[in-house]
Chain A
Amino acid sequence: EPEVTQTPSHQVTQMGQEVILRCVPISNHLYFYWYRQILGQKVEFLVSFYNNEISEKSEIFDDQFSVERPDGSNFTLKIRSTKLEDSAMYFCASRAGVVNQPQHFGDGTRLSIL
């Protein structure tokens, strides 16, 4: 069964540094998402992406965040200048183009900001 893959599994970065989290969605999917989960808290929506542009974003997704689908395969989340509070598990998800299809999640990237 096809899967969403995320790299790296764990990223440790100094505060203020830029970080890029990478995701390869399922190949025929059209909608892409990033979520995050701070330790001990619930999974929170960050951003959705469709037709090469952001379709919806949460208030968490401020100017420090950006997403890109540079080559039709990868889907990346960039945090420009990381803060301590960005430490979390980041999940990528994708879903097919048919309405109400479920989202399929990757294993997540654990981001630790020092």
Chain B
Amino acid sequence: AQRVTQPEKLLSVFKGAPVELKCNYSYSGSPELFWYVQYSRQRLQLLLRHISRESIKGFTADLNKGETSFHLKKPFAQEEDSAMYYCALMNTGFQKLVFGTGTRLLVSP
């Protein structure tokens, strides 16, 4: 079964603190993983995909197949990072996305 788990509903940090949003997955094949971000009242936007191994807005995420994890990290959080973050797994075939429940990141000044 395909499943994405985000254990934290809310993560509250101060500006400048490091951030790690956890994501674990369950998938029998070779996973394609994404992080999407949803700022207040806006659409789901692609933040990162594991295959590109890039850093966007200071965020990085590394796929750890041994731990079946794809945690999102940022060394120094900014207030504008406050948003809802969704980890998602894309399956093979017609490639639907399976989402986690999301983590709300709140960065306080």
Contact = CB atoms under 8 A, between A and B. Distances in A.
Interface residues of B, number: 23
Interface stretch (B10-18, B39-47, B58-66): B39-47
Contacts, number: 57
B96 A33 contact: yes
B69 interface: no
Interface string B74-94: 000000000000101010011
A95 B76 CA distance: 32
Summarize A's interface: helix, strand, loop or mixed: strand
B96 to A, nearest CB: 4
Given A45-B96, A93-B97, A105-B44, 19 more contacts: A4-B43, A35-B97, A42-B100, A43-B86, A43-B102, A45-B97, A48-B94, A48-B95, A48-B96, A50-B94, A91-B43, A100-B32, A102-B34, A102-B46, A102-B49, A103-B95, A104-B46, A105-B43, A106-B43
Interface of B: 32, 34, 36, 42-46, 49, 51, 86, 88, 90, 93-102
